[in-house]
Amino acid sequence: MKLLSLKCPRCRADLEGENNSWIFFCRSCRIGVDLSRGHEQEFAYECMAPVIQRSETARYFVFWLFHTRYHALAEKEQTPSEVCGHFWVPAFFIKNISYFGDIGLYYNNRNVTLQTERCRKLTLFPADRGEAHAAIYPEVYAVKMEAARRRRVTDTAILSTRMVWVPFYETENEFVDSILGWSYPFGAMV
């Protein structure tokens, strides 16, 4: 097994992350290094500006943002429609997702758009879902969203991938999403 140095492949600074993470970050180069495929793979990242401002301490949660193209075909149509869009997939696992829900699906259903800002020196939540695992979700999300319109999805293709840091507010016993304002207990996220 090859030992990885956890140094930035560009500037050689120490990468930021936790022991159980698959993704580590260099704030100076603004890249995430994904190790989930057994080798270093770089992805650019952006920091999301909070829609909701609160006084509590914020902590960044990492999402994959996939720019995706697929075809959707309704039952009585002859020609499929080409659809391009962005799909948000958490780079972290939610415990008991059937109870707490899928944050990525909520972001996609609400058409959350990327509004960036400069990253502050805030704490990062561990990113333990690599790109290889997350890349199956754009098709899953597209199928769920188009099923509501009674359309079938085919030919899903990921056009580009990047990461987005989203600030969540940390209260005594929960995290509050700074974009939708929804709260999740520590037990769901930690």
Predicted confidence (pLDDT) per residue in 156-172, tens digit: 999 999 999 999 999 98
Residue recorded with tokens 């754009």:
138
How does residue 18 score in pLDDT terms, banded at 50, 70 and 90?
Answer: confident
Residue 175 to residue 125: CA distance in whole angstroms? 11
Q: How many domains does the chain have?
A: 1
Residue 34 is assigned to a structural domain of this protein: no
123 in a domain, yes or no?
no
Instruction: Note whether residue 141 is domain-resident.
Output: yes
Across the strands, what pairs with 73?
A: 152
pTM > 0.95? no
Cα separation, 156 vs 138, whole angstroms: 8
User: Percentage of the chain surpassing pLDDT 90?
Assistant: 68
Nearest to 183 by CA among 127, 100, 110: 100
17 domain-assigned: no
Domain that holds residue 171: 51-111+130-189
Q: Does some domain include residue 1?
A: no
pLDDT digits (tens, 9 = 90+) for 62-103: 999 999 999 999 988 888 999 999 999 999 988 888 788 889
| Sign of the CA dihedral with 99 first, then 104, 106, and 108 last | negative
- Do residues 89 and 107 make contact, with C-beta atoms less than 8 angstroms apart? no
Query: What confidence tens digit (pLDDT) does each residue in 134-143 have?
Result: 999 999 999 9
pLDDT band at 1 (very low <50, low <70, confident <90, very high): very low
State the average pLDDT for the chain. Answer: 90
User: 71 CB contacts (<8 Å, ≥6 apart)?
Assistant: 80, 81, 82, 83, 153, 154, 155
What is the chain's percent helix, strand, coil content, to nearest 5?
15, 40, 45
